[in-house]
Amino acid sequence: MTELNETHDPALRSWVPSANDDGADFTIQNLPFSVFRRQGSAEAWRGGVAIGDQILDLAAVAATGIMEGAAAQALQAATGAALNPLMALGPGAWSALRQALSRALRKGSAAQARLGTCLVPQSAAEYRVPARIGDYTDFYTSVYHATNIGRQFRPDNPLPANYKWIPIGYHGRASSVVVSGYDFRRPVGQAMPPGAQAPVVRASQRMDIELELGVFIGTGNALGEPIAIADAPAHVFGFTLLNDWSARDIQPWEYQPLGPFLSKNFATTISPWIVTTEALAPYRVAAPARPAGDPQPLPYLDAPGNREQGALDVQLEVLLQTPRMREAGMPATRISATNYRHAYWTFAQMVAHHTVNGCNLQSGDLLGTGTLSGPTLDQACALIELTVGGKQPVTLPGGEQRAFLEDGDAVILRGWCAKPGAARIGFGECRGTVLPARDVAY
């Protein structure tokens, strides 16, 4: 388990003023990573670290020669167009770089004069997916989401028989993972309308969202060598917000017997920022106790550390803004709020199960937690749950209603950690807008 150290001290302040603002996402105790360049430029993509409303340009920092040893090696690994080289170095290097950055960015640091020119305003930057994602696996870790969905199709037996025994997952599409701000076309696929005798090919009429966290693998494992659950957190570089867009009318027709395909692979949006596992150490909490009657995890999915500190206290919310709201100058409105601590399966259990058969994870691989719905319906994080399959539409400010997403709707995910005695750790936002389907006859 990641131990608390000097970088977590809530009393730390930065010489970057905006990092000290009340409610700031990117405090000096956070220091999340991204890959960026200035908007509209032909500059090389390179690694950056968020501090307040600025980005510390890691390539520019490396050019100053200000760091030495393990921190300098890790810094150099973060200067390219993807963070995979940094991820592959492991927790010792990550921690050394984090400590060096924290010391350099603290109020009163002698490094301020040399690093002041290495800042780029976030408002002047554009981002890309921060790692080369070789593989993407999406899990199903919220028992509340699984129950809400299952109840719509199997009222008497909503959960599959294996749900409480294994972290269920499916292999997703890495090539269509996009960064926040990318607007995508409504997908087309086969659907079987109610009462029809044959499927039709059409644009999805039941576009949905899924609020998740993405888990970026740092160091991988050799083929044939499982990762023990006690070791799993050390293999995780960090976490990002993730929206697993879903076409609910395509999904039920195609998913049997092998699972989601065209209903999911057209787009998955992630935040530009990866919040490191080390930054989240103050927010490790006990994994939820299993209710009476539920099976206890099998030995390879169980460890004292996972029971005591396997969950993360991350607050999450979904906001929606329609075209009419934008035209009227109305901000996005919250439609759901939840917390990652409710997940039935922890991120360490996801990693341990993924590799128990010898599967080799690699640096930059992405795992999705699955929709992180909480125990009450107002904490449901997909429209199919919130609207009970479209039967009870959500009413928005101005009187509009939504059962599923319409063209032009923008969805924003946000996440943060906050509690007395610890600094706020924010995830920024994950935003995407649904564009009309391509005008093509099928």
Catalytic residues: 145
Say how far apart CA 336 and CA 212 lie, in whole Å: 13
d(CA 193, CA 205): 11
Residues 55 and 125: beta-carbon distance below 8 Å: yes
CA distances from 394 to 144, 324, 385, 398, 400 (A): 19, 15, 11, 12, 8
Angle between helices 69-77 and 91-105 (to 10 degrees): 100
Q: Peptide bond preceding 288: is omega within 30 degrees of 0, i.e. cis?
A: no
Distances in whole angstroms, Cα of residue 179 to Cα of each of 12, 106, 241, 270, 429? 31, 30, 10, 5, 11
CB 242 within 8 A of CB 372: no
State the pairing for strand pair 246-247/410-419.
Answer: unpaired
Closest of 222, 359, 94 to residue 85, by C-alpha? 94
CA distance 78 to 35: 9
389 class by beta-carbon count within 10 Å (0-12 exposed, 13-18 middle, 19+ buried): middle
Residue 368, beta-bridge partner list:
138, 214
Burial of 388 (C-beta count, 10 Å sphere; 0-12/13-18/19+): middle
The answer to whether 405 and 208 are in contact (CB under 8 A) is yes
Q: Could you tell me where the DSSP H helices lie in 248-322?
A: 251-254, 304-309
Residue 154: count of CB within 10 angstroms of its CB: 11
192: left (phi over 0), alpha (psi -120 to 50) or beta: beta
Helix (H) or strand (E) holding 269: strand 268-270
Cα 42 from Cα 236, distance rounded (Å): 32
Q: Which amino acid is at 289?
A: A
